[in-house]
């Protein structure tokens, strides 16, 4: 008998978390190791957060350090329980395969497993990166006698990876997008164009009329049925096993897509002005995550939400300036703003 998909996903994200954390620790062996924090969810499930952050100084000032990373988190969660009506309403807006419960007030049993990471480097020339890979199931309640397995009503995979620089290096953007495109193309040539467009649309800050970063891929609701963003005639993964192979390929591509960029940027010299601009861009990152991101909203609606893990993605330090003078045309900061207002296709393969 085949191993249940939820167990396969659990085993994979545990191994991927260890691989990614080990990759960052090897890049900066003199830095403190990631803090590993295992936790149990009283409503069902568990997880492990692997977080990098230096303790603040006694007077609350920023820590003076030469570490490559300023803050980072590589977190996994494997949880189950019952979705309340508010969470069901939030999810049905984005997942066409999600069923309506016969008794809306009773909620729906669910299982969710995923890895989510955010890395904020110290150097303004090195980009922030975000990625996640997740699996979700909706089931019927088990019988009162407890002799039947819960019936699977719906399942889907989701995920993505996107780059958020403070300064634009075109070769970095090209390397990142080409790595993702090559990985996607091995599973269907229609995947990357759809996922790239979805990413540009999703990571957008409406009240600023600008993107959060320079894109990457974003996808959700991948299952055996039709998909609103993919052509039915296109070759693509459809079974749980096929889609899981795609998820693993993208997870395995994370370090090759990002570590070469971080390796060549983390030691570049930078000025106080560049640090100031980095903190302004991180302010935009905060605005997106707290105001726009549906994952944050869903997490906060879920019973037993672990707030520390949900808000781990926020940078340690950010800045908001009233009518800032940075980012004007003809400046290095302005070059970034041009592509945040008009997304580009970066791949050449």
User: Would residue 130 show up in a list of annotated catalytic residues for this protein?
Assistant: yes
State the catalytic residue, choosing from 80, 95, 120, 130. 130
Phi and psi at 3, nearest 5°, equal -65, 135
Phi and psi at 155, nearest 5°, equal -150, 155
User: In degrees to the nearest 10, what's the CA dihedral of 180, 183, 184, 187?
Assistant: 180
Going by C-alpha positions, the residue among 191, 185, 202 that lies closest to residue 231 is 191
CA distances from 123 to 66, 69, 71, 145, 335 (A): 9, 8, 12, 59, 18
29 three-class SS: coil
For CA atoms 35, 165, 123, 208, the dihedral sign is negative
**d(Cα 83, Cα 264) in Å, to the nearest integer?**
44
Q: Active-site positions? A: 130
């Amino acid at each position: 008998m085949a191993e249940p998909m939820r167990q396969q996903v659990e085993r994979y994200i545990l191994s991927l978390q260890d691989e990614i954390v080990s990759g960052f620790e090897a890049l900066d062996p003199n830095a403190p190791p990631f803090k590993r924090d295992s936790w149990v969810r009283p409503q069902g499930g568990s997880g492990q957060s692997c977080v990098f952050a230096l303790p603040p100084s006694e007077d609350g000032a920023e820590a003076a350090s030469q570490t490559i990373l300023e803050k980072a988190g590589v977190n996994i969660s494997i949880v189950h329980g019952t979705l309340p009506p508010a969470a069901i309403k939030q999810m049905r807006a984005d997942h066409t395969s999600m069923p309506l419960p016969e008794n809306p007030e009773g909620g729906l049993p669910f299982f969710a497993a995923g890895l989510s990471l955010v890395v904020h480097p110290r150097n303004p020339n090195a980009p922030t990166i975000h990625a996640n890979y997740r699996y979700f199931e909706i089931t019927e309640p088990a019988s009162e006698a407890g002799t039947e397995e819960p019936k699977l009503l719906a399942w889907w995979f989701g995920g993505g990876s996107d780059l958020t620089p403070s300064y634009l290096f075109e070769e970095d953007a090209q390397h990142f997008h080409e790595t993702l495109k090559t990985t996607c193309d091995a599973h269907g040539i229609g995947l990357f164009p759809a996922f790239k467009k979805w990413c540009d649309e999703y990571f957008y800050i409406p009240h600023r009329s600008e993107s959060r970063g320079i894109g990457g891929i974003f996808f959700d609701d991948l299952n055996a049925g039709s998909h609103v963003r993919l052509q039915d005639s296109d070759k693509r993964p459809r079974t749980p096993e096929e889609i899981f192979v795609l998820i693993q390929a993208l997870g395995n591509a994370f370090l090759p897509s990002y570590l070469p960029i971080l390796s060549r940027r983390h030691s570049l010299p930078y000025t106080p002005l560049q640090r100031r601009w980095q903190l302004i861009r991180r302010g935009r990152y905060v605005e997106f995550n707290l105001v726009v991101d549906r994952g944050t909203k869903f997490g906060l609606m879920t019973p037993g939400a672990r707030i520390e893990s949900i808000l781990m993605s926020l940078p340690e330090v950010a800045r908001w300036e009233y009518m800032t003078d940075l980012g004007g045309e003809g400046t290095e900061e302005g070059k970034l703003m041009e592509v945040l207002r008009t997304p580009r296709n970066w791949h050449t393969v």
